[in-house]
Structure 1
Amino acid sequence: MAGHYSYGGDQIPPSQDKAGSALRTVLIVAAIVGVVTVVAGLLIVLKSPDEYGLASNRDALDLRVQPEKKVSGEPQQALFQADPDVPPPLPQIHPAPPMLPSTPVRIVIKRLGINAPIESVGLERDGTIEVPAADNPNLVGWYRNMSTPGEKGPAVLLGHKDTRTRAAVFSRLYQIKNGDTIEVKRQDKTTAVFTVGGVEQASKKTFPTQRVYGAQENAQLHLITCGGIYNRSIGHYTDNIIVYATMTSSYRS
């Protein structure tokens, strides 16, 4: 009869057809909302990976577990830790007499495979120290407002840990050990040899200014690079790695 549908075969009553269409619409909308939610969540996590435990190995400098790690069967040394006003650690050997000032031209750390030129750097307009040009990853900066390496007082050298595309000159600086030697070749054809007395990882929020830049009676060398976790929101590492060394000899190049 007109106006009636058979319940047999493939025909569907009008009320059931409408209910099925409504159900399909609800399912499609729910699926779309679910996809949007997942994508939004991923974007939030990728923007701040440190907060979610997803920072990559490149972004983390694994120093806090250094004492437990072993290389060639030997335990790694513990990092130097002290209040910011405590003097820097010194090697248990007698320092060499300071030399006259002379501009540094090259740094060599044989055990780490470092052999790099040095350029002079000063202060930025905001009062922070300049860093070496990023387009030359194998370049070290000497802060010219402090002592020259080999001269009485602290000489400060800075180098990048990495660039956007590759490791840089001080990428392995955290691996240096107490007792290792650092050579700085100078413009006057002499080479100042420094012995490492300690390595520190310090937060940039509590940088040990006095320990790094304070006056010293002997010729000191302080190397600085980045460390800790890379904070993507500000584009900087959270910490500094600082190496403290004392001049223990010198020779003519």
Structure 2
Amino acid sequence: MSEYYGYGGGPVPPPEDKGSTALRTVLIVAAIAGVVTVVAGLLIVLKSPDEYGLASNRDNLALEAQPDGKASGKPEQALFQAAPDVPPPLPQITPAPPMLPSTPIRIVIKRLGINAPIKSIGLAKDGTIQVPPSNDPNLVGWYRNMSTPGEAGPAVLLGHKDTRTRSAVFSRLYEIKNGDAIEVKRQDRTTAVFTVGGVEQASKKTFPTQRVYGAQDNAQLHLITCGGTYDRTIGHYTDNIIVYATMTSSYRS
């Protein structure tokens, strides 16, 4: 019969088979012994991973190979630093022969997305160089009492970093790198191409006058904008960003 009924009429377990009980006991003991053996083996391996070829390479990386969370790339370019009477930095390339004077009309710095008209500026009543009007944030000023871009000597261009309401033409000038090209289109339909040789951040209190305005035999271009921190008490930035570039070629526009 397939079922056994007791006094209550419900199903009851079949009579105990002593042989089956003994077999189950042997299997349970064997299983426990197997687990103990595996655990003991794992403990031995973990204590001496090198002996079993399981050592991790993560802890053996050189210090410079450890991830630092920063994007990969070249290190930041160091700013030019020198005494105020030291000559401007020159790019590692032969300067091009200077051209005849011609009024600049436009400046293009492709890597920074700059393409701006140039306006002639002179001296303000207090004897300082004028700056372009702030109502045209994309306008660059050329100081007309110095050389024209491409002519022998330093040509000086000025532009705002920002205005009260928005960024301006030279807001990214600090990002320029040595070797970058700057093009200045001139009224005689020639374009003077300058190569950046150095970038300086100078305090306005110790402005390098000789380096920026001093006479030079080759054609140089010096770009000036504001930098450093904004001093709300005087309404001006504390420093200037100055880019030094030398003419290395030219072409007909």
Give the alignment's TM-score, normalised by structure 2. Answer: 0.72
- 1:97-176 aligned at under 5 Å gives the runs 97-176=97-176
Q: What are the Cα deviations for residues 197-217 of structure 1, in whole angstroms up to 9, with x where unaligned?
A: 000000000000000000000
**Structure 1: distance between partners of 2:151 and 2:87:** 18
- C-alpha deviation, 1:133, in angstroms: 0.6
Give the SS at the match of 2:237: strand
Q: Deviations over 1:188-240 (max 9, x none)?
A: 00000000000000000000000000000000000000000100000000000
Paired with 2:234 and 2:152, the residues of 1 have a C-alpha distance of 37
- 1:247 is matched with which residue? 247
What's 1:86 paired with?
A: 86
Other structure's SS at 1:74 match = coil
SS across alignment from 2:166: coil
CA distance in 1, matches of 2:71, 2:166: 24
TM-superposed CA distance for 1:72, in Å, is 5.7
Over 3 Å counting, the alpha-carbon distance change for 1:72 and 1:251 in structure 2 is farther
After TM superposition, give the deviation of residue 71 of structure 1 in Å. Answer: 7.0
Q: Secondary structure at the match of 2:205?
A: helix
Letter in 1 for 2:80: F
Structure 2 counterpart of 1:180:
180
Q: Give the secondary structure class of the aligned counterpart of 2:156.
A: strand
Distance 1:133 1:71 in 2: 39
Structure 2, unmatched stretches of 5+, are 1-69
CA distance in 2, matches of 1:112, 1:161: 13
Identity of aligned residues (%): 87
Give the letter for the 1:214 counterpart: G
- The code of the aligned residue for 2:174 comes to Y
- After superposition, the Cα gap between the structure-2 partners of 1:73 and 1:164, relative to the gap in structure 1 and judged at 3 Å, is same
**Alignment pair present for 1:202 and 2:202:** yes
1:232 aligns with 2:225: no
The residue type equivalent to 1:130 in the other structure is Q
Superposition deviation, residue 75 in structure 1: 1.2
Letter in 1 for 2:198: G
* 1:90-126 deviation per Cα after TM superposition (whole angstroms, max 9, x unaligned): 0010000000000000000000000000000000011
CA distance, structure 1, for counterparts of residue 248 and residue 197 of structure 2: 11
Q: Partner residue of 1:38?
A: none
| RMSD over equivalenced CA pairs, Å | 0.9
Quick one: distance in 2 between partners of 1:235 and 1:186?
Answer: 34
Structure 1 position 73, deviation (Å): 1.1
CA spacing shift, 1:152–1:229, aligned 2, 3 Å: same
Paired position in structure 2 for 1:63: none
- Aligned CA distance change for structure 1 residues 72 and 127 (closer, same or farther; 3 Å): farther
Question: 1:74 Cα shift?
Answer: 1.4
Cα pair distance change 1:106/1:206, threshold 3 Å: same
